[in-house]
Amino acid sequence: MAMGRYFKNLNFSIGLALSTMVVVMALVSLFWTPYSPNTMDAHHRIEAPSLAHPLGTDQYGRDQLSRVMVGAVNSIIVGLMTVAIGMGAGIVLGLTSAWGGRLADEAIMRFSDLLFGFPAVLSAILITAVMGPSAVNAMLAIGIFYIPVFARLTRASALTIKGLDYISAARAAGQEEVAIIRRHVLPNILSPLIIQATVQFAVAILAEAGLSYLGLGTQPPHPSWGRMLNEAQTFMELAPWMAVFPGMAIAWTVLGFNLLGDGLRDILDPRLR
């Protein structure tokens, strides 16, 4: 596969550039930040952006740039974990649905209808209320809603392949069903799944920001973009910059991964346009 094909796609190039910057920022923050992200300084509270603090400081005098950087790590972890949960369970359920006979198919599809129909924010709030607010529980709450997304996609893709000749041929050659799925089906449904995963990655970052804004996601003092926005709102009149930069970081990241997903779809799966 020539990489040139990828870079000719504008969506892909811009998306890759934006999201790479976020990943690099997150990686750098693991080793270095301008200030320690949680260290308070009573003498430099709510200072406007300056050379010393390019994004200003918050109500505790913490450096906002350092916190935005570390917040990127948080967001990336949330994206990866939720997609892993949704994709892992979704692929298994989707394949069971496609291969397991009518009853399993019906049960799994109705279950996913139920999840789809239910307001996601509300369930996430209920889940965190029962299990306690934490980053892990927020990821679980979001990841659960990804299961039907990946299950349906897997099922649909698998069903089209199931009827193809080479599967029948493999079966005639005496291969086991599990082996057929692993060798012939999975590799062929990977493209749509990867495209979907990129998009869901972005959605998860948005969702976690919303939950953290409500105080149900990442707990203090660990920086999370959503929680930073929550704190910023009370200081809106005194320190508007606190409300601007974490939101920009979210929009930047989500835009990056959305574009990346669109670009990948254009390239890998032109039929879906």
Partner 1 sequence: MTAYLMKKGISLTAVLFLVSLTVFSVLFVLPGDPAQIILGINASPETLAALRARLGLDQPFWVQYGGWIGSLLKGTGGHSITYDTAVFDLISSRLAVTGPLALMAMAIAVALALPLGIFAARHQNRPGDAAVMAGTQVGLAVPEFWLGILLMLLFSVHWGVFTAGGFPGWGEDFRGSLKALFLPALALGLIRAAILTRLTRSSMLEVLREDYVRTARAKGLKERTVVYGHALKNALIPVLTIFGLQMGQLLAGAIIIENVFTLPGLGRLVFQAIGQRDLPVVREVVLFMAAAVVIVNFLVDLSYAAVDPRIRLDGQ
Partner 2 sequence: MKNAFRFFFVVLLLVVVSTPAFSQTPVKGGSLMVCQPAEPPGLDPTANTAAAIDRVVYANIYEGLVKVDSGGGFIPGLANGWTISADGLVYTFNLRKGVVFHDGEAFDAAVAKWNLERAAVPENGNPHPEYFNGIEAIQTPDNHTLVVRLKSVDALFIAHMAEGDAVMLPMQGAGDAKSNPIGTGPFKFVKWVQGDRVEMARFDGYWNPFLPYLDRVTFRFIGDPAAQIAALKAGDIDVIGSIAAPESAMMLAKDKRFKVYAGTTTGEVIMSTNNKAAPFDNLLVRRAMAHAIDRQAVVDLVMFGYGTPIGSHWSPSTPYYEDLTGRFPYDPDKARALLKEAGYPDGFSATIKLPAIYSYSRRAGEVIADMLSKVGIDLTIEIVEWGQWIDRIFKKKEYQLTMIGHVEAWDIGIYAKPDYYFQYDSQEFRDAYANALKAPDEAGKSKWFGRCQEIIADDAVNGFLFSAPSLPVMKVGVMGWWENYPTIALDCTAVWWKQ
Residues found near partner 1 in the complex (CB under 8 A): 114, 117-122, 125-126, 129-130, 202, 206, 209-210, 213-214, 226, 229, 232-233, 236-237, 240, 243-244, 246-247, 250-252, 254-255, 258-259
Contact 250, 205 (CB under 8 A): yes
Look up tokens 């910059």; give the residue.
241
208: number of Cβ within 10 Å: 30
Torsion over CA: 189, 190, 193, 195 (sign): negative
Q: Contact region for partner 2 (CB under 8 A) — 20-28, 78-86, 108-116, 215-223?
A: 215-223
Cβ at position 92, least distance to partner 2 in Å: 34
Distance CA 173, CA 152 (A): 29
Q: φ and ψ at 63, to 5 degrees?
A: -75, 120
Q: How many residues belong to the chain?
A: 273
* By CB under 8 A, residue 38 contacts partner 2: yes
How many Å is the Cα radius of gyration of the chain?
A: 22
DSSP string, 78-117: HHHHHHHHHHHHHHHHHHHHHHS-HHHHHHHHHHHHHHHH
> Among partner 2, partner 1, none, what binds residue 49 when CB lies within 5 to 8 Å by partner kind?
none
> Among partner 1, partner 2, none, what binds residue 252 when CB lies within 5 to 8 Å by partner kind?
partner 1
For partner 2, the binding residues in 177-206 under the rule CB under 8 A are: none
- Give the one residue of 13, 23, 34, 61 binding partner 2; rule: CB under 8 A: 61
* By CB under 8 A, residue 235 contacts partner 2: yes
Instruction: State which H helix or E strand residue 144 sits in.
Output: helix 135-162
Q: What angle do CA 86, 200, 218 make, to 5 degrees?
A: 80
Cβ at position 42, least distance to partner 2 in Å: 4
Q: Judged by CB, which is closer to partner 2: 38, or 188? A: 38
> Among partner 2, partner 1, none, what binds residue 235 when CB lies within 5 to 8 Å by partner kind?
partner 2
> Among partner 2, partner 1, none, what binds residue 259 when CB lies within 5 to 8 Å by partner kind?
partner 1
* By CB under 8 A, residue 234 contacts partner 2: yes
* By CB under 8 A, residue 247 contacts partner 2: no
Distance CA 52, CA 34 (A): 9
* By CB under 8 A, residue 237 contacts partner 2: yes
